[in-house]
Amino acid sequence: MKNPNIDAISFDEEEQEILDAYNSGKLESNPVGNHLLLAPQETVKKNKNINIRIAENDLISIKLIPYQTLGVFCTNIPRGG
């Protein structure tokens, strides 16, 4: 569906190509792809619950570490299997 106000806007070459492709029906309706749309949903899914016994002093120390830094440590843990 063409916007009536679109003619009043000037586009650069790349934008004009995209607009022309859209208006001619050559542009995909979902150029991003479903796998990129599902990625955020997959990220927040819980995979497993675990229980960890830890000394209170160690827990306090861990809570003081910024979560970004803690994430780096967690991603570098060797996985068994």
Take residue 58 and report the two structure tokens written for it: 């160690």
pLDDT grade for 55, boundaries at 50, 70 and 90: very high
Given a cut of 80, whether residue 74 has pLDDT beyond it is no
Q: Which of the 8 DSSP states describes residue 67?
A: H
Domain boundaries, the chain: 12-75
Top-confidence residue, 74 or 14: 14
Given a cut of 60, whether residue 1 has pLDDT beyond it is no
Q: What pLDDT is attached to residue 67?
A: 73
Chain segment 3-48, per-residue pLDDT in tens? 656 666 788 899 888 888 888 888 766 656 677 777 777 777 767 7
CA distance 79 to 26: 45
